[in-house]
Amino acid sequence: MFEKDADHIRNISVEFFIRELESKKKGLSAEEKRTRMMEIFFETKDVFQLKDLEKIAPKEKGITAMSVKEVLQSLVDDGMVDCERIGTSNYYWAFPSKALHARKRKLEVLESQ
């Protein structure tokens, strides 16, 4: 049992290390940043404020803190991430189920043409 856990931790560490090397080598393309930002939402299934994402994205996905706001705004503009202002704060979320329904609707539209 412990060997399985150790292997899992090693695999995560290797994956993280590879991502770190890739991001330091060439920087990430805009599309890669968008994909990784969506991974944060889909993996956690949580709601975030911008300041939270500016802390999480560089550590977990290799997206520079300076570009988080721009990437997030592009995802909101494209309807992939939802944003709601509550009081003085903006909250951001995206759930896998919404993405699945959007893909199904798009497929239905394409099939009906």
* Helix (H/G/I), strand (E/B), else coil: 5: helix
Q: Residue 71: its pLDDT value, please?
A: 96
Structure tokens belonging to residue 103? 């893909």
Q: Residue 81: its pLDDT value, please?
A: 94
Residues of the chain with pLDDT under 70: 1-26
Burial class (CB within 10 angstroms; exposed 0-12, middle 13-18, buried 19+) of 83: middle
Alpha-carbon distance of 104 to 79, in angstroms, equals 15
Average pLDDT, rounded, for the chain: 85
User: Do 61 and 40 contact (CB within 8 A), yes or no?
Assistant: yes
* Helix (H/G/I), strand (E/B), else coil: 93: strand
* Helix (H/G/I), strand (E/B), else coil: 90: strand
If we measure between CA atoms, which residue out of 30, 17, 23 comes closest to residue 62? 23
Q: Residue 27: its pLDDT value, please?
A: 79
Q: Residue 46: its pLDDT value, please?
A: 95
